[in-house]
Each structure stands twice: as C-alpha cells, then as structure tokens.
Amino acid sequence: MSPDPPITHGSTAQVPNVEKFMSDFNMQCPMAATRLLHSGVPATVEHRTRQSNTSDPEALAVTETVEHFITAMDSLKLNLPAVDQTCPILLDLINSMDKVSSLPPDFPPRHKVLSWYTKLYQKPANYELPKEDVRQLMYELEASYSIFLATLRKK
C-alpha cells in the first residue's frame, strides 16, 4: 500500500470537492472549512491571543536553567561520566541558576551543584566518576531540579 500523498500536494483525487464531501458527511464546521479552503492557516495561528515575550530576561534564564538541568541528567544517563564531559555542563548549570533573579542567594540546589563541580574540577580531565558517584550525582540533580521547579511555582 502506498503512503498518503503529502498534504502540500492536496488530495483532490480522493476528495475532488471539499464542500460536497462536507455536505455528504454532514460536517458542521464552517470556520474550519474557511480556514482549509481559503486562508490555509490553522486556528492556533489565526486566533493567537498573546505574543510570547522572549525579551524577558527572567523567563530566558529559567528556560536556560531547565535546559542545563536536563542536559546534565541526560549526560549521566548517556554514560558520560568523565570530568571533561561533566564539568562544563555543571558550570553552565551554575551560571544559568545565577541568572535567575527570583532564586534566593543561598539556594541549596546551586550549592549542591557547585560542590560537585568543585570536587570534579580538581580531578584530571580523563577521570571518570565511579558508578556510585554517578548515581549520587544523578539523585542530587533530580532533587535539585524538583526544588528548582517548586521554588518557581511559589513565585
């Protein structure tokens, strides 16, 4: 069986007349028909009510911090335990947390990540964390991420 043709090429062979098709199947969706036949723009775009404000530095800092938490946890899950692989990711996470102005200055997750960074920074680049340390770091990153999200929800 051949795959359906891409939507950009239309489906006039299967449905030569959309209005007749809608009538035959008693489809009561005039706005959808208008968008399909005339504007070609989805309702989510046509009726967008709010533009996102990407210039908000706090929102960008929060987004960046979430990205770095996820990257740090993913790197451990992908078995990248060497110092030269882990330290830059932890440093990025620390720096991004510093940019989130709504976090308290003595934010415990930041101190946890900083202590791991300090511990690893003193090791040679090719040093690999033992499995127990990887597991502990993963646990502390997950806990820190949960605390970070909970702190944001309180704001």
In the chain the domains, ranked by start, together with CATH numbers, are 10-46 (no CATH), 57-154 (1.20.120.1130)
Q: Per-residue confidence at 34, pLDDT binned at 50, 70, 90?
A: confident
Q: What is the dihedral of CA 93, 94, 100, 106, to 10 degrees?
A: 140
Its pTM surpasses 0.75: no
Q: For residue range 62-119, list pLDDT tens digits in order.
A: 999 999 999 999 999 999 999 999 999 999 999 999 999 999 989 999 999 999 999 9
Tokens describing residue 140? 């502390």
* Cα 127-73-61 angle, rounded to 5 deg: 115
* Cβ atoms < 10 Å from Cβ of 62: 22
